[in-house]
Structure 1
Amino acid sequence: MPCGPIKLFHLSDIHFGLEDQRAIDWVRDCIARERPDAVAITGDLTMRARHREFRAACEWITALDVPVTVEVGNHDIPYFNLYQRFFAPYQRFKKIEKLVETQLDLPDLAIVPLRTTTRAQYQRFPWSNGWVTERALDHCLEAIDAHPEGTRILVTAHHPLTERRERDGKLLTINGTSTMEALAGRKVMAILSGHIHDPFDLTADTAAGPLRMVGAGTLSRRIRSTPPSFNEITIDGDTLHVEARNLERVATPAMQIPEVPENALPPREPGEPISAVGTVPPEDPPVH
């Protein structure tokens, strides 16, 4: 039987280089004071994958002093150095390489990584959205299947797995539908992701059953319709509770958006999903 409640902090899209200093100081203090059982960071540590951004990100993460797993986001692969993008895309993670796409084993619970970021995509350009390759899915499923029956499983990824935008069928995450079905068939408790910058807590219906999808907001100044936030996740037996914590003290239901949008751009058009907070910035802050 599970050994009591487990508390996780789910962070995403910190975007060092355009981070919200007040927000990341607050989160660091929350972690130091509350000592969660683990921290899952679902990608986009940096804004442009620059060396100085990675130095800041790695220093912040290594100072947390709790178990951490880190996913790679599309912003974490070099933008300007194409040689590194294709032949050494994760070299700048060196100081935290033991944390990158690392499985965490907690009492009766495993956090298993799923890579959704790729160096290039022949199907489309730009390459910012997700793609679950056959190799990435096989690696994830093998890790899940290696656990004893009854182990609770969370999967971490950068991109939400929604494959098609609802209103017009536009492609979002390649192979997302089949991946959701595979994870639902393994009775995964939830998949944690980022990329969108607004939190969400949705359930996808698949041919193999339901799959819960939990997204964290951003800790950067690239806000969308909600203030900077992170998810506190409490797992007690078979129950998973999500609280979208934020400095503005906005209630969790008002923070969460009702569906997964096309990408991480601010909602500008009618029909795009937006939270009840609805504070959409007129433009993104400039990136230097």
Structure 2
Amino acid sequence: MALIFHVSDLHFGAEDKAALAWFAREAQAQRPDAIIVTGDLTMRARRREFRAAQDWLETLPAPLSIEVGNHDLPFFNLFARFADPYGRFERLERDIERRLDLPGLDIIPLRTTARVQWRLDWSKGHMTPARVEQAKGSLVRAHGPIRLIACHHPLIEPETRGTARTHGGREALEALALAGADGILSGHVHDPYDRTIEIEGQPVRLIGAGTLSERVRDSRPSYNAIRTEGEALAVEIRYAA
């Protein structure tokens, strides 16, 4: 059996300090096997925002796997965005897109951000065939009976107020489901959800985490507690008071 905490969209620079403290207390009390952060650690990818995120994440009592969000790419410095878009993660670099092999559970990273896109809104998701093939290879090599993909953007629209509009997302989801993915963990839209769809007879769970920032939409700050036992996967959305 494994317990993981799935959290997203911390947005340091517009963080909710009370929600962060609540989540940290939950983690200290329950000691999850891992904490998955599906992107947007910062608001504008400023160095001080990354340092604040790093300081807070390093207090958490579990291995981390962190996805890159669109807000984590340099916003004002276009040279840095193109030349070294992930350089400001510094101490957290070891946890970026870190694959986790837990008891009965594999967490496989999938990057959905892009430095540039052929559309005006670069905040939306973007998939490439190479990234999908890499994730499919990891699925084939996975050991656990439950295999989860972790990414920032939902691959298809989650029916929330926020949207992902991920280019190539539907095709990616179909390929990953047929390769053995049991679920997709994501963030970006700031509202949690948990639903199951079928792709060619294969069920796949779509699990979205909310936010621990002040940038709430329709829901209070929240995170997902995910438990596995054998081939069973249980998701509890936990809201801050």
* Pairwise TM-score range, normalised by the shorter structure: over 0.9
Aligned length: 239
How far off its partner does 1:142 sit? 1.4
Matching of residue 242 in structure 1 with residue 231 in structure 2:
no
Alignment map for 1:76-115 (pairs within 5 Å): 76-115=72-111
Runs of 4+ in structure 1 over 4 Å off: 163-166
Partner of 1:9: 5
Q: Give the direction of change, closer, same or farther, for the CA distance of 1:216–1:165 in structure 2 (3 Å limit).
A: closer
Alignment map for 1:1-288 (pairs within 5 Å): 5-122=1-118, 124-148=119-143, 151-162=145-156, 172-207=165-200, 209-248=202-241
Partner of 1:251: none
Secondary structure at the aligned position of 2:55 is classed as helix
TM-score of the aligned structures, taking structure 1 as reference length: 0.79
1:91-112 CA distances to partner (integer Å, 9 max, x unpaired)? Answer: 0011110100010111121100
How far off its partner does 1:164 sit? 9.9
Partner of 1:283: none
Which amino acid is the alignment partner of residue 182 of structure 2? M
Secondary structure at the aligned position of 1:178 is classed as helix
Identity of aligned residues (%): 46
Separation (CA, whole Å) in 2 of partners of 1:114 and 1:204: 20
TM-score of the aligned structures, taking structure 2 as reference length: 0.94
Secondary structure at the aligned position of 1:217 is classed as coil
Secondary structure at the aligned position of 1:57 is classed as helix
Unaligned runs of 5+ residues in structure 1 are: 249-288
Higher gyration radius (CA): 1
Say what the alpha-carbon RMSD is for the aligned residues.
1.8
Greater relative contact order, per chain length (Cα 8 Å cut-off, separation 6+): 2
Which amino acid is the alignment partner of residue 96 of structure 1? L
Higher share in helix: 2
